[in-house]
Amino acid sequence: MLTLNRAYKTKLRPTKAQARYFNECAGAARFVFNWALADRKAIFEAGGKPNKFEQKRRFNAIKDDVCPWIREYPYEIADKEFTHVDIAYQNFFRRIKQGKVGKEAGFPKFKSKHKDKQSFVLRGRIHVKNGRVKLPRIGWVNLAESDYVPENIKINFVTLLERAGEWFISFQVEQQIDNPEIATGEPLGVDVGIKSLAVCSDGKEFLNDKVLVQYEKKLARLQRELSRREKGSSNRAKTKAKIAKLHQKIANKRAHNLHNISKYVTEHKRPSVVVIEDLNVKGMVKNHNLAKAVSDASMSELHRQIEYKAAWNGVEVLKADRWFASSKTCSSCGCIQDMPLDIRVYKCPDCGAEIDRDLNAAMNLAALAEGVKRPGLPVELSGSERSL
């Protein structure tokens, strides 16, 4: 048996009354966070050493005087906020240690209803059944996807969060799965992100999403529109709401695309080994176009997905050394030449091979797993064969 810790995030479909209650819960969480932060500051200024357990005890002792209404909300909401403050402080001290000062050090800030995202944490008896989730003190709430979160799994805690007027839930679970059969397919190399999202060594290409590009253009247009709107006007608020909605749509679409890739390279192909590049291989951060095409965040998300899906499917993951010249090496004969980013086709001066740049890189990655170079010339694939 294999124990996996993972998260499932999905949209909720609360009733109006439930959504109102969620907002109040988030308000309660924010109140406790701010109380704990103020309390810490006071202790520090008095020369003491705060700790979250003492803080919690102190809060419980005074809460009926300070905020008797908090009893209307699940107990765990407050509980988690002491940890949140603790983490905020730890992060702050770590940044100070790294030599950061002022704004960069980021002293923990009080949360505001308007600036900060609405969220709260629940733990305790939480079940998923028939496309619904049962939450403590709240009861059954409909899930937008009825078959995504498995029933009968151990749920450690859930976070409810609001984005653009909609509520989402993230389940932190412990899942037991049977040891998967060892995958035996041919090793697969995956090259991520210049012209397309990903190219696999078997020729499969995941194109950049055209819809996503349209969304991003629309986003830029809305942001220009926002800058023209008068501050505090109702039109400005409307544009702001549109922008928030669009951000959410973009995030969902991006996640969907990444799931397609990670599913293909693990569950669908079941290669004995999947070879990916270590992050930051191509100086992603420095190149602005690249940063736009595939942000670092989605790169690491793709890696995370490939790694857990590989574990489920008995697939081994090999990470290529960040200095491995996957783009510069000829996948046919192994000769190395310089390959500036704008050159799309690898033309080998030695053996004459001509192959799509990313496919060449993916094949080199796959060859790392085999430990040998593939014999023979790869055939350059036509556009239609390469598309999704």
What single-letter amino acid sits at 207? L
Start-to-end C-alpha separation, the chain:
35
Catalytic residue among 191, 205, 209, 356: 191
Q: How far is the CB of 327 from Zn ion (least distance, A)?
A: 14
350 near Zn ion, judged by CB under 5 A: yes
Beta strands in 70-206 (DSSP E): 119-122, 127-129, 132-135, 139-143, 154-163, 166-177, 188-192, 198-200, 205-206
Do residues 350 and 361 make contact, with C-beta atoms less than 8 angstroms apart? no
Residue 372 Cα distances to 27, 200, 346, 369, angstroms: 59, 18, 20, 8
Contact call for residue 355 and Zn ion (CB under 5 A)? no
Q: Is 377 in the site for Zn ion (CB under 5 A)?
A: no
64 catalytically annotated: no
CB of 8 to Zn ion, least distance (A): 46
In 50-84, which positions are buried (b, 16+ CB within 10 angstroms) versus exposed (e)? bebeebbeebeeebeeeeeebeebbebbbbbbbeb
Task: State the helix-helix crossing angle for 52-66 and 75-97, rounded to 10 degrees.
Answer: 140
Contact (Cβ atoms closer than 8 angstroms) between residue 155 and residue 171? yes
For residues 65, 29, 36, 57, the Cα torsion angle rounded to the nearest 10 degrees is 60
Quick check: 298 binds Zn ion (CB under 5 A)? Answer: no
The question of whether 296 is a catalytic residue gets the answer no
In the bound complex, what is the minimum distance in angstroms from residue 350's beta carbon to Zn ion? 5
> Residue 278 catalytic?
no
Q: Candidates 122-130, 208-216, 230-238, 325-333 — which segment interacts with Zn ion by CB under 5 A?
A: 325-333
Q: Which of 351, 379, 387, 388 binds Zn ion (CB under 5 A)?
A: 351
**Based on CB atoms, which residue is closest to Zn ion, 87 or 335?**
335
Among 126, 160, 284, 330, binds Zn ion (CB under 5 A): 330
The distance of closest approach from Cβ of residue 329 to Zn ion in the complex, given in angstroms and rounded to an integer, is 9
At position 90, the amino acid (one-letter code) is Q
Tell me how far, at minimum, the Cβ of 195 lies from Zn ion, in Å. 21
The only residue of 197, 200, 348, 363 in contact with Zn ion, by rule CB under 5 A: 348
Nearer to Zn ion, 276 or 348 (CB): 348
Instruction: For residue 81, give the 3-state DSSP assignment.
Output: helix
Candidate residues 19, 105, 279, 333; the one interacting with Zn ion per rule CB under 5 A: 333
Which residues are near Zn ion by CB under 5 A? 330, 332-333, 335, 348, 350-351, 353
Active site residues: 191, 277, 358
